[in-house]
Amino acid sequence: MRIDHIGYAVKDIERSKPLFEAMGWSFGETVRDVARNVDLCFGSLDGWTVELVAPMKAPDGAEGLDPVSRADLATPGEATGKRVDTHGQLSSAVSDLATQGEITDKRVRDKRDDMKGQFSVVNEPRTPVDSYLEKTGPTPYHICYKSDDFEADIENLKKKRFAVVSSPAPAVAFGGRRVVFMYSLHAGLIEIVEE
């Protein structure tokens, strides 16, 4: 696997881009990922790539979207509640790590309590970056790796106690190539994109 990009949570891409550009970053167009309720924008500098990730904005630029607006923007099948449940699945992943003896019951309870209300579904317009933004503000939050052998790399990381946070799924930011998010208590959140 090779590093593809660093995911960087921001509150507003259009406000953040000029600050990154002042540091020398060049950005492409902003991409809307309705399935994950986020807007994305990739930038490059000296061979490095950063992905700015912000909660999805309403088409008129208003702050956030209400659940009805999110459903209206969804492609067929998405308004049925098929949303990326990153934080709910992260809670499940933490439980899985506990069953492997990786962490104690108290740490599982603490982690679950820390994640309450972080589900990303149509009726609750949450995004995968909301908790990061609420706790720390804009921050790097994941490293994405390119994979030549997607399934084998996932299985290898599972053997090293990484838990799958979101099942492999096509990603609009990568032209429909599949991505998977995985979590380790000792390495944090990573993303793998098939090459």
Residue ranges of domains in the chain, CATH in brackets: 2-194 (3.10.180.10)
Beta-carbon count within 10 A of 185 CB = 16
Measured CA to CA, the distance from residue 178 to residue 125 in angstroms comes to: 23
pLDDT in tens, the chain (195 residues): 999 999 999 999 999 999 999 999 999 999 999 988 999 999 999 999 999 999 998 665 455 443 333 333 333 333 333 334 444 555 555 556 655 555 554 554 455 455 444 433 333 458 889 989 999 999 999 999 999 999 999 999 999 999 999 999 999 999 999 999 999 999 999 999 999
Helix (H) or strand (E) holding 188: strand 188-194
Long-range contacts of 28-33 (CB under 8 A, 24+ apart): 31/172, 31/173, 32/56, 32/73, 32/172, 33/171, 33/172, 33/173
Q: Hey, what amino acid is at 188?
A: G
Q: What are the C-alpha distances in Å from 116 to residues 41, 48, 165? A: 28, 34, 16
